[in-house]
């Protein structure tokens, strides 16, 4: 590894270490192996938390093939977990820059809804302490925000846009913007409204989606505003109360053998 590669590797490792959060794939260990046949070649291995239920992209594909929409409980639970993860990384002045369904992993811990883990921070960057805006165009085309498409400065709200795209995709089982090529996709993101969602989409869910997909980034919610929105907070309160509730006492008349 060159000195530059070593520095970049160390920076990525340090970033992963400080991002510890229940809804972010946990970093455990890393090591470097050398190729005896290529003395100047080394490979970095990063040991991360194992998520046993694939990615959100896999789940979307499965629902598409079955022509079965996600239930609204699942969508809301996943969005709450994502909102918490995003607010956490932004509080550390980190922009993910490549949030998409393929970078969100699922873990079955015996709950009604899979636990969600945001991963793949390989192209994340720290926000400058002097400005909140960055200007390097990165990310996956379908989830790129208008400011990334146009090449203007962006901040954490580029991640919020990606979350809006994901919320729409979970609701409609299709992406909010499409095109036969990159040029058409870019024009759709810049100028067209999102595709129409299913008619049975709850109004509060639809309103939040549109707030996340505001083309003008100054009109778009920040991750902190997303986390404190009533749609998210109402659900978090319900979940926290359920987890804090004591278990139901056993029925004293029940047969122990049953």
Active-site amino acid positions: 98
Neighbours of 54 (CB within 10 A): 15
Contacts 24+ apart (CB under 8 A), 41-49: 42/1, 44/1, 44/9, 46/13, 46/16, 48/16, 48/119, 49/25, 49/117
Ramachandran quadrant class, 252 (left: phi over 0; alpha: psi -120 to 50; beta: rest):
alpha
Report the DSSP pairing between strands 27-35 and 38-48: antiparallel
Task: Please work out, in degrees rounded to the nearest 5, the angle formed at the alpha carbon of residue 78 by the alpha carbons of 84 and 174.
Answer: 125
What is the DSSP track for 39-53? EEEEEEEEEE---TT
Strands (E), 112-235: 115-118, 125-126
Of the candidates 235, 117, 210, which has an alpha carbon nearest to the alpha carbon of residue 160? 210
């Amino acid at each position: 590894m060159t000195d530059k590669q070593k520095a970049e590797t160390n920076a990525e490792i340090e970033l992963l270490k400080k991002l510890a959060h229940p809804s972010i794939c946990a970093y455990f260990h890393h090591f470097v192996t050398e190729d005896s046949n290529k003395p100047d070649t080394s490979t970095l291995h990063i040991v991360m938390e194992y998520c046993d239920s694939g990615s959100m992209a896999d789940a979307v594909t499965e629902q598409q093939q079955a022509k079965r929409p996600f239930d609204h409980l699942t969508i809301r639970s996943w969005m709450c977990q994502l909102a918490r993860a995003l607010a956490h990384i932004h509080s550390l002045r980190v922009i993910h820059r490549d949030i998409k369904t393929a970078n969100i992993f699922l873990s079955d811990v015996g709950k009604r809804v899979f636990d969600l883990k945001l991963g793949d921070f390989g192209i994340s960057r720290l926000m400058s302490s002097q400005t909140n805006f960055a200007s390097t165009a990165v990310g996956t085309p379908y989830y790129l925000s208008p400011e990334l498409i146009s090449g203007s400065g962006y901040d954490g709200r580029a991640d919020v846009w990606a979350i809006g795209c994901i919320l729409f995709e979970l609701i409609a089982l299709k992406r909010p913007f499409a095109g036969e090529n990159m040029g058409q996709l870019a024009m759709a993101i810049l100028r067209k409204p999102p595709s129409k969602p299913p008619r049975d989409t709850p109004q509060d869910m639809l309103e939040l989606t549109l707030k996340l997909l505001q083309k003008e980034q100054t009109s778009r919610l920040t991750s902190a505003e997303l986390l404190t929105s009533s749609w998210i907070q109402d659900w978090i309160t319900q979940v926290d109360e359920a987890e804090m509730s004591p278990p139901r006492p056993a029925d004293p008349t029940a047969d122990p053998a049953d």
